[in-house]
Chain A
Amino acid sequence: MTVLAPADEAGILAAIAAANEAGEPLRIAGRDSKAGLLRPVQAARMLSAAGLDGITLYSPNELILSAQAGTQVAALVAETAAKGQHIIAEPPDFSALFGVETAPSIGGVVAANLSGPRRVAWGAMRDHVMGVRAVNGAGEVIRSGGRVLKNVTGLDLCKLLAGSHGTLAVLTEVTLKVLPAPERRATLALPGLDPAQAVAALSAALGSPYGVSAAAHLPAPMAARVPALAWMNRAVTLARIEDFAASVAYRSEKLRGELAHVAMAELLDDGASQSVWAAVRDALPIAPEPGAVWRVSVRPSCGPGVAAALEAAFGAAWFMDWGGGLVWIAGPATEAAHHAVAEAARAAGGTWMLLRAPEPLRASVAVIPPEPASLARIRARVKAAFDPRGILNPGRMYAGS
């Protein structure tokens, strides 16, 4: 495959304009760390944003950070940390999950709207995208939003482009809201709960006034793969509190007391909290599983039912994040298993994504839920409104479009 990796937005624009002129499809990537995600794209050439590298604006007092799309997430994490701030949605790094060496770019995690554990309390990646610059499939530069924190001027293309996986436009620059990083973190680790008990405890924690910022449940085999949890030797249910040190001490003790009737929680310190939640964020407990990996998003109380159904269907390995609302599932890379996942998600009124699978499976099944016909018609027209000749990542999300 020919890789086009221009050094600036003008280069992206030229590449797309030429492809549009010729009617030749392009595979679109940030740093190409998530090539294994969603459907394979049939294109002879790849357009990479990796050459667009660097922070273009960072104003900590205004809580605003702009970076070119190909900038590594890790670089932004380091730069904000140096100013005592953080990227709010704690975007994941799936390089271990996909078995690649490449680290994700900010454009990639925005284009895929990927969020980590803090999503349950503080919003998704797309919630903190304040502005974008992008080149649409017709070879036009379009901007939406800006570099301020509150902006309802015109249609919100920041949100539409976040999660559109490069099928509408190629992001060249994104502007994020950032926030002060917490002074301290602590995590309550409740041992030995079954999934239903775990989600009930996490609902109580998330419904408490103590500002729980992450809530997950790892069955024993998954917990065993997290070094800071392995010693507990059983299923672990996790609730994180992040704030000023005195608040963390006060709130974690209060919450521990309120959950004492369920189980007596171990209290993980700041360092253990950071390593545990980085593992949950990057799906490390499930990464070593062979076969396919799915993400199912349901109302949290339905999480245990989805997990149980898929355990019964194909012996699924799984863990839950987002208070039970995000169920990570691993199982055989077969159409039968895939349809069982889709059906379990559908029955629970939720949504799903085939996150990792060998290419033949990704090419042959719907990797995200199909839309009702009325919405699919609108989608086709929206796609054409950005990319009239269908050259940007064709087939990445849906077969034939």
Chain B
Amino acid sequence: MIVQPAPKRDILARRDAIVAGLRELLPQSGVIAEPLRMKPYETDGLPAYRQMPLVVVLPETTEQVAAVMRFCHREGVRVIPRGAGTSLSGGALPMEDAVVMGMMRMNAILDIDYADRCAVVQAGVTNIGITNAVAAQGFFYAPDPSSQLACMIGGNVGMNSGGAHCLRYGVTANNLLGLRVVTVEGEIIDIGGAHLDAAGYDWLGLLTGSEGQLAVVTEVTVRILRGPEGARAMLAAFRANEVAGACVDSIISSGIIPVALEFMDRPAIHACEDFAHAGYPLDAEALLIIEVEGSVAEQDALLERIREICLRHDPISLKVSQSAEESAAIWKGRKGAFGAVGRISPDYLCMDGTIPTSRLPEVLRRIGEMSTAYGLGVANIFHAGDGNLHPLIMFDANDPASLRKAENFGADILRLCVEVGGCLTGEHGVGVEKRDLMGVQFTETELNQQRRIKSAFDPGWLLNPSKVLPLLPEAA
């Protein structure tokens, strides 16, 4: 289990005064101090970790965020920014002596500019909410994490969220133009704007994916893109993981970059098919979902080229979607994969390493060996084009030994990802979950460099501390 630093006793002792101070800064309903009402904030998308916070605040404006930050800075109170609480790495896990700052009330879309292809939204707008707001004009916001119905853009910025279409459209960092942030001292700063590539240091790039370590994001200027004329998916089923991996290589080397290229192994295929009835072939060891975009004629041409490539790899079956409904069913299975695994196992841990795509067969074989050794099932879902692997480790949280084994299994998978040239996390973030594995990927010199940058923004380490960077010995 992850060790958290001891709470500051003086803060706990002053709780009533701190709550009263916050009440002076926010509307009546914006301060939640009753244990029963704080309960929903005690965990996030990594429910194995729980901690009641000191108090929860729900600001409605950037100015209120700034007022809370000035107050907390003066009082030496830690602050945990929180979007929708969908983090799979415990990025929003509270601390006993910390204020949780929930951004969900800042949910306004402030401006949409189709001519300049950008929109300004508050941090609490959901990911899908942006696309929904611009869809009537044929536009969309590209990053599409599986949690997109719930997760908020502020959290997406914090974690640099990805999705299934990153290979073509990039991750959050590649789709931002500007931020309004509040510093730990409570100063409001605008980074970037509606233009490209601000001069000076790339604060936009540094803040994106900084997991709430550096500043609180209150407004985001995103790029919105015109959608393609259409999109269509196909399924290709293979006899072995190696064969499917080789097929992915062949597709990329042919010069085709599908907008999505998803890989599922046998356990994932079965779980998703039981859940979504998408017509996935149950006799396959590996399944690819391949999506292309363009006019119908362009889709036909691309899918035919991909079909020919697949045929060279002795597929069990190939099925090209014939309609929008069939494509939707294919995606329903994939996007529902986490829920599907949840139906066959009481609990699961969703891992998130990235590997060089050429190492996929070897990595899946070794994960299979680990699964046998640990006695825990695993289903693998993989963004095959970009190497982002999501093993879902099945366990029973009611059994502490099972949870411990699952965590050790997960850590072994992530060590393997680094060993073969990859990384600990492709899109979920380090959070608290992978904090103590950072030394596997980085030297102590490199971690200290990151700590000094954190200190440059947050000298007192009040913003979301004890995440991302391993605790120094004195703190642990």
Contacts and interface: CB of A to CB of B under 8 A. Distances in A.
Interface in A333-354: 349-353
Contact of B298 (A123, A143, A250, A375): A250
A76 interface: no
Contacts of A382: 201, 453, 456-457
Nearest to A382: B456
Nearest to A354: B199
B7 to A, nearest CB: 26
Contacts of A34: none
A150 B387 contact: yes
Contacts of B387: 62, 148-150
B354 A148 contact: yes
A84 B167 contact: no
A301 B116 contact: yes
B354 A150 contact: yes
A397 interface: yes
B203 interface: yes
Contacts of B198: 297, 351
B424 interface: yes
Please give me the 10 A-B residue pairs with the lowest Cβ-Cβ distance, nearest first.
A159-B205, A381-B456, A368-B199, A385-B452, A299-B194, A180-B255, A150-B426, A149-B386, A374-B187, A148-B354
B424 to A, nearest CB: 5
B386 A152 contact: no
B197 interface: yes
Contact of A299 (B195, B210, B455): B195
Interface in A29-84: 59-64, 84
A146 interface: yes
B29 interface: no
A314 interface: no
Given A119-B196, A352-B199, A385-B452, 10 more contacts: A142-B446, A146-B421, A152-B426, A152-B429, A244-B255, A244-B301, A297-B195, A349-B193, A349-B195, A378-B456
Contacts of B47: none
Interface stretch (B33-41, B50-58, B67-75, B225-233): B225-233
Interface string A128-168: 00000000100011111111111111111111101110001
Interface string A309-341: 000000000000010011000000000000000
Contacts of A259: none
Say whether chain B's binding surface is mostly helix, strand, loop, or mixed.
loop
A155 B453 contact: yes
Interface of A: 59-64, 84, 113, 115, 119-120, 123-124, 126-127, 136, 140-160, 162-164, 168, 179-181, 183, 200, 203, 206-209, 211, 244, 246-247, 250, 297-301, 322, 325-326, 349-353, 368-369, 371-372, 374-375, 378-379, 381-382, 384-386, 397
B297 A162 contact: no
Contacts of B167: 149
Interface of B: 113-118, 138-139, 159-160, 162, 166-167, 170-171, 173-174, 183, 185, 187, 189, 191, 193-206, 208-210, 213, 226-229, 249, 252-253, 255-257, 294-295, 297-298, 301-302, 354-358, 383, 385-388, 421-430, 434, 438, 441-443, 445-447, 449-450, 452-457, 459, 468-469
Nearest to B414: A153
Contact of B423 (A151, A183, A250, A300): A151
Contact of B449 (A142, A148, A162): A142
Contacts of A168: 201
B202 A372 contact: no
Contacts of B204: 159
A46 B422 CA distance: 35
Contacts of B228: 209, 211
Contacts of A379: 200-201
A61 B249 contact: yes
B356 A64 contact: yes
A123 B452 CA distance: 29
11 contacts: A61-B253, A62-B387, A136-B449, A150-B426, A151-B354, A151-B426, A152-B159, A154-B442, A163-B201, A209-B226, A300-B117
